[in-house]
Amino acid sequence: MNVTPTSQHRNRQRGVSLLFAMITVVALSLAAVAMIRSVDTGTTILGNLSFKQDTLLAADEATRLAIQWLETQHKNAPESLNVTQRDQGYWAQLVPGLDPTSTSTSSSRVAIDWNNDSCRSQRGPTPAACLQTQAKSLANQITARFLIVRLCSEAGSSTVGTNQCPRPLNASSQVTSERGEINSQNPVRIGSTTMAEYYRIVVRAQGARNTVSTTETLVHF
């Protein structure tokens, strides 16, 4: 076949055009893949944030249940709070070396049994002790556990001189039946000082995709 110079020039132009077209197609394909991966990553992040928010709300609900349990004990059997109740996740005295988040590398750390397996699944060195918790099953298949520690130097009554319990500096009012009245015959003030000790409530909520939230709250009555 005879090929004229003009035909060879046209073939070269077609080859160059094909090369640029292929480069363009590859670039567009890479851009499309990058965009899809970016959207997938964004969706995953939003999903994880949603699960995280669920566990935070569950931790708040578990804290409310712990406070409710303390209020019931104060009302019905206040002396029961002077002793440790392991099966209820309640400790009547401070726990030195408490490691709520299981991140301490100290061999003297005291772990909290968040997974109900005697702390065997926790990372780090074997803890010196493993404290029991109280479990609550909440909405969205979230399990929350909490531990309550009374901030006193020892168990027993907080009125004993050797038992050091931090207390609020200022009084908070107690609810009485005389609210709204002016009664000069009653020497008791409507707002009287509360001298109750503090309680530390540690909560851990675990939800979908192993999302975990840990919160701490101080309360007094």
Please give the average pLDDT of every successive group of 10 residues along the chain, which has 221 residues. 60 78 87 80 80 89 93 90 93 92 88 91 88 88 92 89 81 54 58 70 90 91 79
pLDDT of 2: 52
User: In terms of Cα–Cα distance, which of 132, 60, 145 is closest to 95?
Assistant: 132
| Pairwise CA distance, residues 160 & 151, whole Å | 14
pLDDT of 152: 93
With 0.75 as the threshold, say if the pTM is over it: no
210: three-class secondary structure by DSSP: helix
pLDDT of 183: 64
219: three-class secondary structure by DSSP: strand
pLDDT of 154: 92
Q: What are phi and psi of 90, to 5 degrees?
A: -120, 130
Whole-angstrom CA distances from 98 to 58, 102, 112, 118, 149 are 23, 9, 8, 15, 10
